Amino acid sequence: MKWIGLLGGMSIESSIAYERMITDEVRVRLGGTSSPRLIHLAVDFAEVEQLQEAGDWDGAASLLTSAALRLQAAGAELIVLCTNTMHRVADAIQAAVDLPFLHIADVTAQALEDAGVKTVALLGTRYTMEQPFYRGRLEGHGFNVLVPDEPDRTIIHDVIYDELVRGVINPASRLAFIEVAQRLIAAGAEGVIAGCTEIELLLHPADITVPYFPTTKLHVLAAVDAALTA
């Protein structure tokens, strides 16, 4: 089993979910007392959030590249960036390390293809919904990506930063997310992507009337596949 390097802290809520889900998946696959080989490095999300708000993506790339190199030096054999939004600097991380890097959008695109979904709704932070680094990557795989209009886009973004990254699960926010998703489904979405790793803490498959694509879970399954491949 390879050593999985988790580059997390963005937020710590989703990073903990990654560690728990990877552990559960390895137990299922290997049985007994098996557990994954993990190196988990968590950055300070407050620092990352400040860089996001300032639009200082070069600074964010420098911060996360340095962290990824620490993981490599510690013995990681593959890198999992435990966040959707910070894949905004994925190219810089990939260029800096000599390790496989599992891109969350590529993993999600494969799941969409397997499900036969062509038009999909994307829920995430404002950066993920509006900037091309994520939407464009999915579109490059041949998918039509729908994002919420305003004020729905602001509702999704604010719930993520004001509640979910702080560990707050609000039933009223779940209802708001469901209503946003239903509007996108009415506009033609054949599936819904939970394009922020914390969204899965709030929104569940039973809440959605079309196929649901939980990116954390999909990323975890790909990580375990890679770790168990000789």
The residues that are catalytic are 83, 196
Mapped onto helix, strand or coil, the DSSP state of residue 6 is strand
Tell me how far CA of residue 167 lies from CA of 44, 46, 68, 145, 171, in angstroms: 15, 15, 25, 28, 13
Q: How far is CA 138 from the centre of its chain?
A: 14
CA nearest to 79, candidates 2, 135, 182:
2
Cα–Cα dist 64/82, whole Å: 11
Residues in the chain: 230
Q: How far is CA 93 from the centre of its chain?
A: 16
CA nearest to 39, candidates 5, 87, 63:
5
**Residues 152 and 183: beta-carbon distance below 8 Å:** yes
